[in-house]
Amino acid sequence: MAYHNKIQIEEIVAHIFENELYCEAVVTAKERVTAAFQSEYEKLTAEHSEIQAAGVLMSRYGTVEDAAKFAGYTSEQIENWRADRHISTKKEIVHAFRSVRGGIYIGSVFAVFTLVALINLFLHPNLFWSVQTAVYAVITVLCGIFICQNRNLFRYESVCLDAKAEKYVRKQTDQYYKRMINSFGVAVAGLFCLIYLFIVAILKMGMNLGEVFSSIYSAVLMIELVVYAVIKNAVCSWWIGRVFSKEKRKAMAGYSLRMILMSFLYWCLCTLFIFLLRNKVENLFGIFSAMVVAYGILCMVANLTIRQPYVTKNIHMNIRRAAVIGAFLVLITGYHLMQIDRFLLQPYISTVSRLYAEPDRIEYHENSGVYTITTDKEAFKILQLTDIHLGGSLQSAGKDYQALTACYRLIEHTRPDLVIVTGDLVFPLGVMSFSFNNTAPITQFASFMRNTGVPWAFAYGNHDTESLANATAWEVNELFKSLSFQTSGNLLYPYTQPNITGRNNQLIEIRNADGSLNQAVFILDSNDYIDGVMNDYDYIHDDQVEWYRAEVERLQEREGETVSSLLFFHMPLQEYRTAYELYESGSGEVEYFFGANREKMIDKVCCSEYPSSLFPMAKELGSTKAMFCGHDHYNNLSVEYDGIRLTYGMSIDYLAMPGIDEDTEQRGGTLITLYQDSSYEIEQIPLTDILR
């Protein structure tokens, strides 16, 4: 009721002063008259109704002179309002504000660039004479010169406005006041985002200050934009609102300060909560995101409600425009964040110890692209890892850590002589990983494997070079070459590849100490999608099969006998589906060894609908005894069909499928033990067995 009465009194005062010019003196007078009327109105309502009380006020003090004198003004002070002075029109005030606004924008740029230059000098003193610092210095000096030459724009001067100019000023004041509060809110939220990064990176991930500052520096453009918005909106709000009385400006400043303090309190509590949960909750990013959303909602509520007494007319939200702008900002910001390299696992990778105790001799044949591993071991062990699905983002860091530690435990337990990753090393789809980056996780895994010392090879999966990913298939191929044997000493990625379909088709020869061929290990690219259509899976093409045939025949001619070979690829052949269906029907055409197919996303066997000639060719040649694939994360069945062993590798994935991080029975590796007579054994290594 009191608020309703205040609005009614303000309407009476506005009616009395409607023909007066708009200036600071008049605004101050209106506020004093409103306060005096409010006190008198409360006395009158003790004896009269509200309508009667309002009528008494109008009859006693219905003119500006009477109302002002009632509020304590003298006749001389009242005459000063009407003294001869320049009256600004809307056109003049619009022109003046545009000029000032241009100066404010340049001044804000000056302030931001000066601040960034000082921070750069503090963080990177060795880069003081860099080109970037020089550019910042030039821009700062030019802005400073402009401000000095146009300093009159920023001087405070009393103004007098006509009705249209008054309306324009009120509208602009409300708008910039809202922008100022919101930009301060974003700045406070951004500050605590940095604090969150410190908590996660230093206390949870073990990063040092230099690594944290490097991550922050990658987002320096966003920080600059926020600081610029704060300065620009604060100065614009001050300049356009100069016609208000000191009391009004003081009240608005007080409200702004309270909102900022409330924001600080909110984020202090959130930071304390995050700090307490840092070692108890895996998905801290999800909790922090919820806090950001809640803060945004609170700011919108404040804009539409409690700010109302401090503005002339509260701005109601244009839901459609806000939704469009908000969606655009979320998309742009999200896309930018998803492209940034995040090396958050590097502190863990740096602690990984060497596991390759008895190295074999490895040779690379540059002309053919073939690696030869010569071993004198009676049992040569190959560990198949598949579908590791590293995200490489801030959100996926926890699950990436789980994936790498799982790989390390499997390698430590089995002590293999060669690791073969059969695809989907990374997951740059953005949905679950919040990342489009496929280079950072590849580099991290290569660094991880280099520290173990164990030789490893790689077959591409359908996710490693997704169309949405930062790096193309060609760029990823070049990245693998840069990380390969000549650099790392243990990544067996060929610098020379056959001119056939696919991104990496290679042969690795495993030879005994006497030079005889133990196994020919073929790694084939099962490719990704037909014409880039999601889930329309590609297949191993005829030219790849022909290359495989030619290599087998070349080896057989050289060795003078039928050689033994193994095939590794990512997506299962159609024969995997046929063998599974025969196994399910109880047919004697397949021999069961171990495992089960528990895939639940699409089909039990997610193979291409396009037949490949690989299996018939392998059967015809009689060389290949076993094939190994991944792709279907819950499948780990191993059966023999038409004389060839078909095995699904146990997957690692903690990220790419909803809820898979909570499932355990499908996670592990597949160990293939090769003996000197070219016989072999295949064994599942469930991660749960190691962790017991």
- Indicate left, alpha or beta for 423 from its phi (over 0: left) and psi (-120 to 50: alpha): left
Sorting pLDDT into bands at 50, 70 and 90, what band is 336? low
Distance, in Å, from the CA atom of 644 to the CA atom of 649, rounded to the nearest integer, reads 16
**Is the CB of residue 529 less than 8 Å from the CB of residue 539?**
no
pLDDT at residue 683, as a whole number: 96
Determine the residue type at 278.
Answer: R
**Is the CB of residue 417 less than 8 Å from the CB of residue 673?**
no
- pLDDT tens digits, one per residue of 190-204: 777 777 766 666 655
- Between 526 and 339, the higher pLDDT residue: 526
3-class DSSP assignment, residue 539: coil
- pLDDT tens digits, one per residue of 603-623: 789 899 999 999 999 999 999
Sorting pLDDT into bands at 50, 70 and 90, what band is 156? very low
Distance, in Å, from the CA atom of 465 to the CA atom of 462, rounded to the nearest integer, reads 7
Average pLDDT over residues 131-148: 63
Over 90: is that where the pLDDT of 209 sits?
no
Instruction: Please give the torsion angle defined by the CA atoms of residues 366, 372, 374 and 375, in that order, rounded to the nearest 10 degrees.
Output: 140
How many other C-beta atoms can be found within 10 angstroms of the C-beta atom of residue 86? Answer: 8
3-class DSSP assignment, residue 372: strand
Locate the domains of the chain by residue range: 2-81, 90-317, 363-691
Which residues 6+ apart lie within 8 Å of 587 measured at CB?
Answer: none
- Between 598 and 126, the higher pLDDT residue: 598
Q: Which fold, 363-691?
A: Purple Acid Phosphatase; chain A, domain 2 (3.60.21)
Per-residue 3-state assignment (H helix, E strand, C coil) for 246-304? HHHHHHHHHHHHHHHHHHHHHHHHHHHHHHHHCCCCCCHHHHHHHHHHHHHHHHHHHHH
- Between 155 and 600, the higher pLDDT residue: 600
Strand ordering across the sheet containing 680-686 = 456-459, 418-422, 379-385, 668-675, 680-686
Distance, in Å, from the CA atom of 307 to the CA atom of 259, rounded to the nearest integer, reads 10
- Between 347 and 387, the higher pLDDT residue: 387
- Tokens 């208000």 -> residue: 244
- pLDDT tens digits, one per residue of 314-335: 655 566 766 776 777 666 666 5
- pLDDT tens digits, one per residue of 20-40: 766 767 777 878 888 888 888
Distance, in Å, from the CA atom of 612 to the CA atom of 402, rounded to the nearest integer, reads 35
Per-residue 3-state assignment (H helix, E strand, C coil) for 374-386? EECCCEEEEEEEE
Give 395's Cβ-side CA count (13 Å radius).
Answer: 21
Distance, in Å, from the CA atom of 14 to the CA atom of 353, rounded to the nearest integer, reads 79
Strands 361-365 and 638-641: unpaired
Average pLDDT over residues 1-22: 70
Average pLDDT over residues 233-243: 74
Average pLDDT, the chain: 82
Give 537's Cβ-side CA count (13 Å radius).
Answer: 24
Average pLDDT over residues 300-319: 69
Which residues 6+ apart lie within 8 Å of 325 measured at CB?
Answer: none
Average pLDDT over residues 437-454: 91
Sorting pLDDT into bands at 50, 70 and 90, what band is 1? very low
- pLDDT tens digits, one per residue of 638-671: 999 999 999 999 999 998 887 888 889 999 999 9
pLDDT at residue 339, as a whole number: 55
**Is the CB of residue 38 less than 8 Å from the CB of residue 6?**
yes
Taking Cα atoms as reference points, which of 615, 687, 604 lies closest to residue 651? Answer: 687
Among 69-73, 219-223, 229-233, the range scoring the smallest mean pLDDT is 219-223
What the block records as the tokens of 660 is: 């898979």
Element (H, E) at 22: strand 22-23
pLDDT at residue 623, as a whole number: 96
Distance, in Å, from the CA atom of 446 to the CA atom of 453, rounded to the nearest integer, reads 10
Sorting pLDDT into bands at 50, 70 and 90, what band is 518? very high
Distance, in Å, from the CA atom of 200 to the CA atom of 395, rounded to the nearest integer, reads 11
Sorting pLDDT into bands at 50, 70 and 90, what band is 43? confident
Distance, in Å, from the CA atom of 97 to the CA atom of 12, rounded to the nearest integer, reads 31
- pLDDT tens digits, one per residue of 170-179: 777 777 777 8
Beta bridge partners of 639: 592, 646
- Between 263 and 509, the higher pLDDT residue: 509
Distance, in Å, from the CA atom of 606 to the CA atom of 602, rounded to the nearest integer, reads 7
What the block records as the tokens of 444 is: 């991290």
What the block records as the tokens of 313 is: 């007319």
